[in-house]
Structure 1
Amino acid sequence: MVCPPVLQLQLRRSARSMSLWQNLDVVQASGLLTQLLQKEIIMQEAMFELVTSEASYYKSLEVLEAHFLRNPVLINSLSQSDMHFLFSNIEEVMKASERFLMDLEHRMEKSILISDVCDIVFFHAVEHFNVFIKYVINQVYQEKNYRRLLEGNQAFRDAMAALENHPCVRGLSFTSFLILPFQRITRLKMLVQNILKKAEENSEREANAIKAHQQLEQIVKECNEGVRKMSRTEELISIEKTLEFKSKSVPIISHSRWLLKKGEVQLMAGPKSTRTMRSRKLYQPVYLFLFNNLLLVTKPSS
């Protein structure tokens, strides 16, 4: 049965109210509910949830774009570099999400009885979802620059307060919108996993769900690894800034280096015969930085 065009419009505008596939007027009028086995109805619900949740997610992205990213007052309060740090490649993420949603909608246009969605998930995860990795990795800078702007930019702070009080954001903060892409990838993985559990063994649906789940798992893994590397680099930069004498032969900042532990210890000095006297003069404070491939011994500057 062909899905009427009005349903696609509903998917984007009213996804929150469309909780169940079997409650759709077109489904109830089709007679499918009396023809399908209960396990197939459950599968339809699982696939429909993926589609409607994607529509709801995209609707939230549109709020981020139209209400925040395109707001002239906010734009005028920020430099071009601050805009880039704050919003990163969110426009690329939106384009990828829109393409994905359109393909899901086209699948439902073909028939209200959904054949599959995981094949679409797999294709887009391979071809287009790499933009999510870049966005999530840059979130380290997003959060840092957002805090910096709130503290030091009065115009930005005032503009943001007004935007967050607008009814269209439904009481959500700006940062709640910024973290949507990573939340969506992890949520999508769970939705695919739910479909996989309900798929018939050795079926095409099961095979597609397995491939989609594995690909999404890889994306989440790369996101987490990228964030971890970025945080490590940020920590190395912070440490290097505290050092007065830097060794050019052994640079602190390296992609293959990360901090394991740091802390102050007391270094014993002076003749061995006097070390048992516990004189304060015999002990010098030193600060150790233990990296995975380097031990750095420092002392407070005089």
Structure 2
Amino acid sequence: MCNAFLLHFSPFCFAFQVRFEVVTSEASYCRSLDIVVEHFVKSKQLGALLTTQDRNWLFSRLADVRAISHSFLSKLEERVESDMVHFTVCDIITRHCQRFRMVYVPYLTNQSYQDATYQRLMNENQGFKRIVEKLERSPVCQRLPLRSFLVLPFQRITRIKLLVQNIVKRTTPGTVEAMQAIKALKLLEKLIQESNDSISQMKSIESLVSLSAKVDFECRTLPLISQSRRLVREGPVTELMDFSLKDTERSVYLHLFNDYLLLSLQKEGGKFTVIDHSPVSDLRVENCRVKLHSLQKNLFRLHMSNKSLLLRTDTQSDKLRWISALSRPQPEVDFSAAQGKLCILV
């Protein structure tokens, strides 16, 4: 498309090529979406084998993605037809970003369910596997498997962002087109970030649901599942107790969330008994400095809402990571042995 005349203006030519690639790559993308929707999503043989839930998880909102992509392509093609040389695309991208958000964020968020559903059906449902492989052998698929079609929306939204980045680089700063490109790029970056945040939130909820099935509460019950809760750090530590007791130490397990800390005893089968919990806002941590000849190392004091614990980790680095995760450390205090107590802290 870039003729000999345009070659004398290479910056203009490069910008033109990138804009034209937005159009041609969108056309190719739409053709692929047509294949997956018409050939797989609408397959009666495949549909007869899928439950409503599996169908939703496997194909998510592919039909909606296709509809919006065709609308976007139509606007791009109209713009090219109006001026084959000086057409712009970033203002069209900007106007479509809200519609992109409505379908891409849910589709990208569903990825883990989509992958898990596909693997489960391929492993456990021989009828599903047989029909999918039969459909994949059709010439219309051009030897591409179903999974390659399912990941297209993930690839496309990133590809558009990269193309717009190139337009920004190739466009004269301060021009209307440059400002349109920068605006489009910011909206695309926001959309991708929102998708990433939504994916992270979904994974956090999944982990909370899984943990909730593994814990029982010896203390007051705390509802674990919350959209705003995320796991910061978890792992076993050793609690050092009063020398007057028969057992002077025990292994405890910490689940540190962004808003709460769970203190548990680990049981067989990966299960936990929660013996105490505290809001993160009530936590205070102190680094215990030990004497060189002391047998006890890697100690820190954790103050919770209603108790104080002396904890030990296996390594110095692990201790420092816990101190950092739990709260900002208070000034160091000296560690010293005392009769009847393992550690006395002010």
The TM-score, its normalising length taken from structure 1, stands at 0.80
Distance 1:56 1:247 in 2: 59
Distance 1:124 1:204 in 2: 18
Q: Deviations over 1:74-98 (max 9, x none)?
A: 1111112211111111111111100
Q: Relative to structure 1, is the Cα distance of residues 231 and 250 closer, same or farther in structure 2, using a 3 angstrom cutoff?
A: same
What are structure 2's unaligned runs of at least 5 residues?
A: 269-346
Q: Relative to structure 1, is the Cα distance of residues 207 and 34 closer, same or farther in structure 2, using a 3 angstrom cutoff?
A: closer
Contact 1:264–1:287 (CA under 8 A) maintained in structure 2: yes
Q: CA deviation at 1:158?
A: 1.8
Instruction: In structure 1, give the amino acid aligned to 2:104.
Output: F
Instruction: In structure 1, give the amino acid aligned to 2:194.
Output: E
Greater per-residue helix proportion? 1
Q: CA deviation at 1:268?
A: 4.6
Q: Does 1:287 align with 2:259?
A: no
Q: Deviations over 1:108-127 (max 9, x none)?
A: 11122132111111111134
Counterpart in the other structure of 2:40? 68
Instruction: In structure 2, give the amino acid aligned to 1:38.
Output: S
User: Could you say what the CA RMSD is over the residues aligned between the two structures, in angstroms?
Assistant: 2.4
Counterpart in the other structure of 2:77? 105
Find 1:162's aligned residue among 134, 137, 153.
134
SS at match of 1:86: helix
Distance 1:98 1:229 in 2: 30
Q: CA deviation at 1:196?
A: 1.0
Q: CA deviation at 1:35?
A: 9.0
Contact 1:150–1:157 (CA under 8 A) maintained in structure 2: yes
The TM-score, its normalising length taken from structure 2, stands at 0.71
What are structure 1's unaligned runs of at least 5 residues?
A: 1-20, 23-27, 276-280
Counterpart in the other structure of 1:3? none
Greater per-residue strand proportion? 2
| Deviation >6 Å, runs of 4+ | none
Counterpart in the other structure of 2:321? none
1:60-209 → structure 2 map (5 Å cutoff): 60-209=32-181
Q: Relative to structure 1, is the Cα distance of residues 166 and 251 closer, same or farther in structure 2, using a 3 angstrom cutoff?
A: same
Distance 1:297 1:115 in 2: 62
Contact 2:6–2:12 (CA under 8 A) maintained in structure 1: no
Q: Deviations over 1:186-234 (max 9, x none)?
A: 1101101101111112111111101111111110110111101111111
Q: CA deviation at 1:249?
A: 4.9
1:245-260 → structure 2 map (5 Å cutoff): 245=217, 249-260=221-232
Q: Deviations over 1:249-293 (max 9, x none)?
A: 521111221112222334455x50577xxxxx6554433212122
Distance 1:35 1:219 in 2: 35
- When Rg is computed on C-alpha atoms for both structures, the one with the higher figure is 2
Q: Does 1:40 align with 2:16?
A: no
Which structure is higher in RCO with an 8 Å CA cutoff and minimum separation 6?
Answer: 1
Counterpart in the other structure of 1:272? 243
Counterpart in the other structure of 1:239? 211
Distance 1:186 1:228 in 2: 18
Q: Relative to structure 1, is the Cα distance of residues 246 and 76 closer, same or farther in structure 2, using a 3 angstrom cutoff?
A: farther
Q: Relative to structure 1, is the Cα distance of residues 246 and 39 closer, same or farther in structure 2, using a 3 angstrom cutoff?
A: farther
The farther-off stretch of 200-209 and 109-118 is 109-118
Q: CA deviation at 1:166?
A: 3.5
Distance 2:205 2:218 in 1: 17
State percent identity of aligned pairs. 36
Instruction: In structure 2, give the amino acid aligned to 1:103.
Output: K
Distance 2:95 2:55 in 1: 31
Q: Relative to structure 1, is the Cα distance of residues 196 and 288 closer, same or farther in structure 2, using a 3 angstrom cutoff?
A: same
SS at match of 2:216: coil
Distance 1:298 1:178 in 2: 41
Distance 2:109 2:86 in 1: 35
Distance 2:139 2:229 in 1: 47
Give aligned pairs, total. 268
The farther-off stretch of 152-161 and 281-290 is 281-290
Distance 1:273 1:144 in 2: 52
